[in-house]
Every structure is written in C-alpha cells, then in structure tokens.
Chains A and B, each alone.
Chain A
Amino acid sequence: MTQTIDPQPVRKIAVQCTLNGKQAEFLIAPYQSLLETLRDVLALTGTKEGCNDGNCGACTVSVDGRIVDSCLVLGAEMEGKTVDTIEGMAPAEGLHPLQRIFLEEAALQCGICTPGFLVSARALLEKEPNANETRIRLWLAGNLCRCTGYDKIITAVQRARDEMQQR
C-alpha cells in the first residue's frame, strides 16, 4: 500500500479503540484509511486490499458489529469504536467453524478474498443463524471472488450454519 492522499508529512492523530477484543492505541495520519491503518500501521495483514474503492469486499472488517469495507472508512474515525478483523476470528486453539469448513470444502483458491468472506459470513450467521441460501448469497454480494465461482463458498457457509446451530 503505497498510495496516499497527501504525501506531505502531517501531524498524526492518536486513536484509541477496541481491536479484536483488546484495547489498542495508535498514531496515524489523518488520511489513512482503516485498511491502511490495519495493514501498514498495526501489521494486521490478514485484511486484504483488493480494489481499494469499495467494490470487492476483500477488506471487510466489522466495526461496532456491522461489516464495512475498511478502504471506505478512515482510521481516525475508529476512536472509541470496536473493530474486529480476521485475526480475531479463531479461538485460542483451533479455527472458527467457518474457517475450518472453508478449508474442508475447498472454498478458496488464491485466498485473497477469503478473509473478507469469512468476516462477512460470520456477521451474517451471528445476526441470522438460520439464513437460507438466498439470504447468504444476497449478504455476500459485496464480496467478490474471481476463482471459485462462489458455489463452494456458499456450500461452506451453509455447512457452517448447520454445524453452529447444533451447538
């Protein structure tokens, strides 16, 4: 990520937020997007840059419980917010069911879109544990994948839904 809006050195802004369940404090330039903040400042490179203009969903993270394209918000807006990224998804040991089933169902090829899909799918299943296939496809319309043709991703989310319901 080399592109910046203003290459001039500017006074940095101090931001405090809850990041993956922990208090985080960092200094960023006012023009840095949340995506740049995560990747370049905080070294959380699980969140991917795809299009950087709000089309592809590869950079999807959760802010105060709602998914958003992190390229479309500024890091400075995160003051006091709760931010959850792919790095916070797996429990201390093992994987989140969505992560494990994505692997089992081969719901990824190149993998660039995968963190975004996982964060989006988790948000849906937390909000709507019974989401049907139509709803899953609609919800994930903001995440683009150029490898899989989507079917394996949808299958994986449905299997994760069924498994998570049985708990």
Chain B
Amino acid sequence: MLVQLRGERFELDAVVDVKHVPEIMELSFLHGALTVGAAVPCYQIYENESIAKVFPGIIDAASLIGGIQVQTRASLGGNLCNATPSADGIGPLIVHSAVATITGVDGTRTVPVEDFCTRPGVNVLNSGELLINIRIEARPAHFGAAYQRFIPRNEMDIAVAGVAASVVLDTTGEHIESGRIALAAVGPTPIFAEQASDFLTGQPATAETFAQAGEIALTESSPITDMRGTIVQRKHLVGVLTRRTLAAATERAQGNV
C-alpha cells in the first residue's frame, strides 16, 4: 500500500493502521477450521507448526511471497485485496474453498475467494468496506493441496504462470472424489478452473487424469503476452503445472489416507 501511495496510484485523506484491530490480526486453527485475519503476516502462518502440517498447500504460497523481509509484513489478505492476476496467495485459497469475511457500514458479508477479484487490481470491496479475515472450513480427511509457479529466478519474482490444485481422495486413496484447480497470471484475475475441477470427480488419481485436467485447464486460461512470458509459453505452463500440482496434492492426500 505504501508503494502504491508513493506511486500516486490513489489519493488518501488518512491512513489507518488496522493492525491494532484484534479480529484483523487473528490467526486461529480450531477443530480443523483455519481463520487468517486480513493483516496476519505470512511468517506467522508458516511458522505455526500445526497449521503448516495440515495446510501445506497454503504454506506453499505463504513461504514464497517476496523474501524474508517482505514476509514479515505481507499478508494473504493484502495479497487478496491487491487483486493482481499473478498473486501467489489467491489460487491456494481458492482450492481450499476459502471464504472472505467483509465488514462495512451496512454489516458483514462473506464472499468465496474465487469471486473476490473482478479485474486487475480491483476487488468486490465497496467504499466503506474492509476485509476482516479469510476462513477455511475443516478439510475432509483425504484432502491434499499444492501450489507451484514458474519464474525465471529461483526466488523473489512474479509468476509467469502459477497453478494451485487440491483433491479429496476416496478411502482407497486411488480415486478422486472431488478436486479444485486455480490458475495465476494467465487471465485478468486469478482463475478458478471449474471445468478442469469438475472433470476430476470420480477419476482415478493417475498421471493420465492429471494430464487431461491440464489440457482442460489451459482452455480456461486467457493469458496475454508481456515482458514475463508469451501466450504460448503460459498456456504450456498451465498444462505442466496442473499435472505437477495435482500429483503433489494427491501425494499429500495419500499421506492423509
């Protein structure tokens, strides 16, 4: 926000430090449900061992947003409100079916994270509204999730493309009961790939299924060519990263079977 203020992206009369509002700093993990206050810094999430154990798919994102210095400051809530198409934190929230709690002068409402961003840098918050927290309900027993992105460096870069995936396996660990796939940096907002997600229902948890899901997911992307990558490269990456994240999510879910 300070960077955007200096860049004169918007004008303000006042800045209020919301980090003194307890609800906005809440980080709780009760009966399997996770509540992340809007301004909870990333390090508090990944340094919490019980959260890290149950939600490695969230940690994938929290531990790669910026460097260590930025993770002292950056929050998943800020990442969500900033609403960039390439946000690393949003896809993982989508595949965990996370819900945003918004409070304003007219009361409180909830919005699924996949519906939160409306176009680049714009979200559903109305004037007078504030994101309070992001909530993830308890996940089914055989759930697993993962997020991966492609960047030319090893660290500290903006995704050329990113994919988050989650699966719920049956009790044998061999079939997918349901799955969710979300895409980053390949459209005007983070994308919930619904067709690819629906395709996963009832499929065997095999490399062939993951590849087919990747083929569907890339048809749900609408990337542009810019300094970070081309349309062709980004579509290719969606296919590759969908395969890889589905495999990683499945492996994590099988660890929970």
Interface residues of A (CB under 8 A from B): 3, 5, 30-31, 33, 52-55, 57, 60, 63, 66-69, 71-74, 76-77, 120, 123, 137-139, 141-143
Contacts and interface: CB of A to CB of B under 8 A. Distances in A.
A3 B7 CA distance: 10
Contacts of B30: none
B50 to A, nearest CB: 20
A68 B72 contact: yes
Contact of B70 (A31, A72, A137): A72
26 contacts: A5-B5, A52-B3, A54-B69, A60-B69, A63-B72, A66-B72, A68-B72, A69-B69, A69-B70, A71-B2, A72-B2, A72-B73, A73-B2, A74-B2, A74-B17, A76-B17, A77-B17, A77-B19, A123-B68, A141-B68, A141-B154, A142-B66, A142-B67, A142-B68, A142-B156, A143-B67
A123 B19 CA distance: 24
A157 B68 CA distance: 17
A141 B67 CA distance: 6
Given A142-B67, A143-B67, A53 B155 contact: no
A67 B69 contact: yes
B155 A138 contact: yes
B15 interface: yes
Nearest to B17: A77
Nearest to A53: B3
A68 B73 contact: yes
Nearest to A30: B15
Given A33-B2, A52-B3, 11 more contacts: A5-B6, A52-B6, A54-B69, A63-B72, A66-B72, A68-B69, A68-B72, A137-B154, A141-B154, A141-B155, A142-B66
